Amino acid sequence: MATTYPEVGEVLHDVTLANGLRVLIVPKPDYHETYALFAVNYGGIDVRYVPLGESEMVEDPAGIAHFLEHKLFEKADHDAFDLFGATGASSNAFTGATSTAYLFSTSQQVATNLTTLLDFVQDPYFTEQTVAKEKGIIGQEIQMYQDTPGWRLYYGLLGNLYPTHPVAQDVTGSLSSIAQITPTALHRAYRTFYQPSNMTLTVVGNVDPQATLDLITANQAAKTFAPATPIQRGVAEDCGVADILPYRALSLPVARPKAAVAIKGQRPVGDDLAGTRFQVAVRLLLEMLFGDSSPLYQDWYDRGLIDDSFDCDYQAARTFNFVTFACDTADPQALSDALVAVIAKGADQELDPARFARLKQAGLGKYYQGMNALDSMANQLSAQSFASVNAFEMAQVMRDVTLDDLYQAAGALFDLAAVTVCHVHPEAQA
């Protein structure tokens, strides 16, 4: 089905194949490049589930989704990276908390690269030897992240917010957790989650939509898949505040201390229109209060509490949502106290209507700017492909958000019972 979105001047071809695979195609005839992502609704948090064809819940080691992403590139007699490279294409993959994606970009031989993408992701190959080798490679990656203070600060915050939820576990796992990964466990997770009905293929670029769809349909028809089966996931929504750890201090080799504050969302945020509108409202609220054009930001900057490393973010996904603030600062306690003081006001915030209108327009401008980049468009479409609101509908959602939505968002999120603080101190001063 093709839908035209006059707001952004795009046409989206959205087709679900007989095997359940959802295909999204956006033709961009004025561009030379084509960008494609093959995504699965499976990420770092999905460690508890009922395997396909079984009846009992299992728990996989942390990091298995990321490990699986690495291993799918390697086959018995070749590496998929080499196939992409032979055509001049650039390829990559990434694993997040709730999804994994495989991608390529190219200006030539799109059909060949699409076939490579589909075939290598849908043809798992794991042996004891290759899995053992990969443990060494990923082990080095884990140690690299452990040597990154910002990474440690972020997961310190998540550990405080979610002591029993797998979102607090590093998506790469730990040295001890990846040591437990076996070919059998990889095949079990792959069989359960890498069903076509749990995946989306997004293609944006200089392609003929029908010819591209015909290629994908023929590729899938030539393969055999188990019947689509609902996935029984064992990770529940975590919105409780009773087990939050209020404070954590880390001693790391940094030249300048760091401070971070986080707020745990206390209600589920759906992937429907209401949930999407709430997310937009929260992000606008954060920009209103803490953005670099806000009075608060200017005051804190002038006082030396923050520098240009200050950042705030909101993440909402399957089973969790939270706000984070982080910055390098000479006085971590003073900064975290200042942040907590704003949060303590709850919905009693001073929000200027005129500034709200300007920030909405600025947000729309960034949105339209993002639509000019193929990778940005494809990533947004892919990221929202498991939700009910697609990336081309976001402009209208942004237009519809009101100042009252921001006050409601502040009332829902800004609660001291849901707050945690994490500080990083230089080792010599700890």
Catalytic residues: 69
- Give the largest CA-CA distance in the chain: 65
CA-to-CA distance for 143 and 129, rounded, in angstroms?
22
Amino acid at 403: L
CA-to-CA distance for 192 and 346, rounded, in angstroms?
42
Q: Which two three-digit tokens encode residue 9?
A: 């001047």
Q: How do 258-264 and 232-233 pair as beta strands?
A: unpaired
Burial 187-222 (b: 16+ CB within 10 A, else e): ebbbebbbbbbbbbbbbbbebebeebbebbbebbee
User: What angle do the packed helices 149-161 and 128-146 form, to 10 degrees?
Assistant: 100
CA-to-CA distance for 95 and 66, rounded, in angstroms?
6
Reported in sequence order, the residue ranges of 277-350 that DSSP labels E, i.e. its strands, are 311-317, 320-328
Do the beta carbons of residue 292 and residue 300 sit within 8 Å? no
User: What angle do the packed helices 183-193 and 64-72 form, to 10 degrees?
Assistant: 90
* The Cα angle at residue 303 between residues 300 and 308, in degrees rounded to 5: 55
3-class SS of residue 370: helix
Token pair 């080792």 is found at 427
In sign, the C-alpha dihedral spanning 6, 11, 16, 21 is negative
Q: What is the chain's length? A: 430
CA-to-CA distance for 83 and 88, rounded, in angstroms?
9
In sign, the C-alpha dihedral spanning 358, 359, 362, 367 is negative
Identify which of 123, 87, 107 has the alpha carbon closest to the alpha carbon of residue 219. 123
* The Cα angle at residue 237 between residues 234 and 239, in degrees rounded to 5: 150
Residue 360: count of CB within 10 angstroms of its CB = 18
Do the beta carbons of residue 425 and residue 255 sit within 8 Å? no
